[in-house]
């Protein structure tokens, strides 16, 4: 995938630059090695394919042999893959490969926790555009691996009229009416902050309403009013502690920026276990 190659190349350029001054000076390029990639905390793994491609961008002869698949939950201490190839190439790709694996596994793990809280409700977890610049493709992939659903990837593939759009255009009705004339076959989602704006969005012909930062009492009223008329998405300060309570109110979707912007990187290490000498086994 061209975009993945671009992301990896940018990360390797950032880390290696024009040379790995340490490895190039002390490691014989004819030495080969094997290493284990181990998870140091319970996690849902995501990004094994990305880690493999990092190594292969450095040295096509490197092989990464995974013991699991993306999406599997593993316990602390599990070896999830082995890498084989030139020792110098492994060392050059180690940090970048692990950075991707740690970040994506963190997002997948947190997403899985959010999704688990929605069991028994009809609500579907959505991600947002609150992603690391340049890494949206991979971070949204990790959300899917964790069991969430991708919202729009960018401003180009979905209509979402937000509060500042409404402020500029003057009203919910004006914003919805204007875009319906120009994009009549697109689904239109509009953010509303109170019952009056919700009614205006429904009357204007919106398809989805984003109920943003509403108090529970108003949120319950809004979902009841919208039921059977438009789809509902709840957003704003959604946490593991309150998502179940929100889901029990009956929205169709709940979106959370936290699953990408606040996921902690899973602790994952790579340790060389064998040096081959000067010929590949």
- Say whether both 145 and 257 belong to one domain: yes
216 and 128, same structural domain?
yes
Domain CATH code at residue 201? 3.20.20.70
One domain, residues 238 and 225 = yes
- Does one domain contain both 177 and 246? yes
Residue 212 lies in a domain: yes
Given this model, what pLDDT does residue 205 score?
96
Give the tens place of pLDDT for each residue, 231-280: 999 999 899 999 999 999 999 999 999 999 999 999 999 999 999 886 54
In a domain, 280, yes or no: no
Q: Catalytic site residue 92? A: no
Cα 170 to Cα 172: distance, rounded to the nearest angstrom = 7
Is 95 annotated in the active site? yes
Distance in angstroms (rounded) separating the CA atoms of residues 55 and 90: 7
* Helix locations, the chain, DSSP H: 2-16, 21-26, 48-58, 87-117, 136-146, 163-169, 172-182, 195-204, 216-226, 243-247, 258-261
Q: What are 85-98's pLDDT values in tens digits?
A: 999 999 999 999 99
Catalytic residue chosen out of the listed positions 122, 162, 183, 274: 162
In this structure, what CATH number is given to the domain that contains residue 87?
Answer: 3.90.1170.20
What's the token pair of residue 15?
A: 């880390």
- The reply to whether 175 and 208 lie within a common domain is yes
- Are residue 158 and residue 21 in the same domain, yes or no? no
Residue for token digits 């190039």? 24
Report yes or no on 248 lying in a domain.
Answer: yes
If asked whether residues 102 and 25 sit together in one domain, one would say yes
pLDDT confidence of residue 277: 82
Does residue 191 have an active-site annotation? yes
| 281 assigned to some structural domain | no
Which residue in 127, 191, 197, 200 is the catalytic one?
Answer: 191
Hey, is 239 helix, strand or coil?
Answer: coil
Catalytic residue among 139, 189, 212, 233: 212
Measured between alpha carbons, how far apart are the two ends of the chain, in Å? 31
Exposed, middle or buried by CB within 10 Å (0-12, 13-18, 19+), for 232? buried
Question: Does 83 lie in the same domain as 103?
Answer: yes
200 is known as an active-site residue: no
The predicted pLDDT at position 278 comes to: 62
129 as an active site residue: the answer is: no
Asked if 57 contacts 9 with a C-beta cutoff of 8 angstroms, the reply is yes
Closest CA to 100 of 33, 17, 36, 7: 7
When divided into structural domains, the chain yields a total of 2
Q: Is residue 14 part of a domain?
A: yes
Full residue range of the structural domain in which residue 164 is found: 115-261
For the chain, residues with pLDDT lower than 70 are 278-281
Same domain, 81 and 139: no
Judgement on whether residues 21 and 120 belong to the same structural domain of the protein: no
Phi and psi, residue 144, nearest 5°: -65, -40
Q: Pairing between strand 32-39 and 268-275?
A: antiparallel
């Amino acid at each position: 995938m061209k975009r993945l190659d671009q992301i990896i190349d940018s990360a390797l350029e950032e880390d290696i630059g024009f040379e790995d001054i340490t490895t190039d000076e002390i490691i014989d390029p004819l030495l080969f090695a094997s290493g284990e990639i181990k998870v140091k905390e319970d996690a849902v793994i995501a990004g094994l394919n990305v880690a493999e491609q990092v190594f292969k961008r450095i040295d096509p002869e490197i092989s990464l042999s995974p013991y699991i698949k993306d999406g599997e939950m593993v316990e602390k201490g599990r070896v999830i893959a082995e890498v084989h190839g030139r020792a110098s190439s492994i060392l050059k790709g180690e940090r970048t490969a692990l950075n991707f694996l740690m970040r994506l596994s963190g997002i997948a793990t947190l997403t899985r926790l959010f999704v688990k809280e929605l069991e028994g409700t009809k609500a579907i977890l959505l991600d947002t555009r609150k992603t690391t610049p340049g890494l949206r493709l991979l971070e949204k992939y990790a959300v899917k691996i964790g069991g969430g659903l991708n919202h729009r990837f960018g401003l180009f593939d979905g209509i979402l009229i937000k509060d500042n759009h409404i402020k500029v255009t003057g009203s919910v009705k004006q914003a919805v009416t204007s875009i319906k004339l120009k994009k009549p076959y697109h689904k239109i989602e509009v953010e509303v902050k109170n019952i009056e704006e919700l009614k205006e969005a429904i009357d204007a012909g919106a398809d989805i309403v984003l109920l943003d930062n509403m108090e529970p009492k108003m949120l319950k009223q809004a979902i009841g009013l919208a039921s059977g008329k438009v789809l509902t998405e709840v957003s704003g300060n959604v946490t593991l502690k309150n998502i179940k309570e929100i889901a029990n109110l009956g929205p169709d979707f709940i979106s959370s920026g936290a699953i990408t912007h606040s996921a902690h990187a899973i602790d994952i290490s790579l340790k060389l276990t064998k040096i081959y000498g000067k010929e590949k086994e």
